[in-house]
Amino acid sequence: MRGIGFMLLAVAMFSLMDAALKVLAQAYPPLQVAALRGLSALPLVAAWALTSAPLIGLIRIRWGLHLLRGAMAIGMLAAFAYALQDMPLSDVYAIFFVAPLLICVLAVPILGERVDWQRWVAIGVGLGGVLVVLRPGGEGMFTWAGLAVVGAALAYAASALTVRILAPTDSTQAMVFWMTLMLAVGASILAWPQWVAIATAHYPALAVVAVTGAIAQYAVTEAFRSADASVVAPFEYTALLWAIALDAALWQLAPQTHTLLGAGIVIASGLYLFRRESRLSASAALG
């Protein structure tokens, strides 16, 4: 329940942050948006990490995995910001919902987990739902924005699994601090040649990104530390409710039929996996 609670909080904060990022994505290059995401949250994250954890715990870490997480964060945020330039938030989320299914797929080579045929069928159905959103044979399948979301989901899934690997040795503070710092520095360096001056009108959006991003990163890290990835990941689907509400409130957009249909397929497959894993865990606990 602790992991599920943190995931619900993370989804709410990420949804509000993504709405602010969509505002910024209309005015700045994708890499700069990724940099602003890291830079805005860094002061809050640094203050929290340095006051709540011993300094030695922030230094004695598994540097290779942290550097990998930083690189994946840059790629994920840049791809996500690129997609937000042209797609409604609900469409982006509907495709991004493939991430929990990708977590199950990547858990095989990364965590050594075994995936039986029922899981593979559910994963295949979920990927089919993503194709419905992308509209094979239509305009959606061949847009760079749609493919960028798939790439962002892949990076997110891999990053989430590294939390499970790092959890026994590295603190939540270390994981959140170093990923935020690497995102801020790395994306800023890459974005510098095309950097656009920040308009005063966008300061409120940056403030939203700073606060919600810091809270969300802490919450999602705690979620994956506190429970199995296959348990907490399906609760990311609550983001669709946030996306629909934010699209309607901020941009007067309603989700299209193919978006709701595809999202429904993905969510159904994910909830099947969640329910099945819960039953298997309960049976194992009973012996």
pLDDT tens digits for range 71-80: 999 999 999 9
Give the range among 25-29, 182-186, 223-227 with minimum mean pLDDT.
223-227
Query: Using the 8-state DSSP alphabet, how is residue 192 labeled?
Result: G
Cα 284 from Cα 279, distance rounded (Å): 9
Q: Which residue has the tokens 């991004």?
A: 96
* pLDDT exceeds cutoff 60 at 286: yes
The residue among 77 and 100 whose pLDDT is bigger is: 77
Residue (of 52, 3, 38) closest to 214 by Cα position: 38
Instruction: Using pLDDT thresholds of 50, 70 and 90, give the confidence band for residue 185.
Output: very high
pLDDT at 264 (0 to 100): 85
Give the mean model confidence (pLDDT) for residues 140-164.
85
Give CA angle at 217 (192, 171), nearest 5°: 110
Helical spans, DSSP H, in the chain: 2-25, 30-52, 55-59, 63-84, 89-96, 98-111, 117-134, 144-166, 172-191, 203-226, 229-232, 239-251, 257-285
Q: Say how many Å lie between the first and final Cα of the chain, rounded.
A: 22
254 to each of 88, 90, 102, 257, 259, how far by Cα in Å? 9, 9, 27, 9, 10
Write down how long the chain is.
Answer: 287
Query: What residue spans define the domains of the chain?
Result: 2-285
Q: Which residue has the tokens 């705690």?
A: 222
Cα 15 from Cα 96, distance rounded (Å): 12
* pLDDT exceeds cutoff 90 at 203: yes
Q: Which residue has the tokens 């994963």?
A: 123
The rounded percent of the chain whose pLDDT value lies above 70 is 92
* pLDDT exceeds cutoff 90 at 261: no
**In the numeric block, which tokens belong to residue 126?**
């979920």
**71 Cβ contact partners less than 8 Å away, ≥ 6 residues apart:** 182, 186
pLDDT tens for each residue of 127-143: 788 777 777 555 555 68
pLDDT at 285 (0 to 100): 65
The residue among 257 and 16 whose pLDDT is bigger is: 16
Contact 198, 191 (CB under 8 A): no
Instruction: Using pLDDT thresholds of 50, 70 and 90, give the confidence band for residue 240.
Output: confident
Instruction: Using pLDDT thresholds of 50, 70 and 90, give the confidence band for residue 230.
Output: low
**In the numeric block, which tokens belong to residue 68?**
């990998």
* pLDDT exceeds cutoff 80 at 198: yes
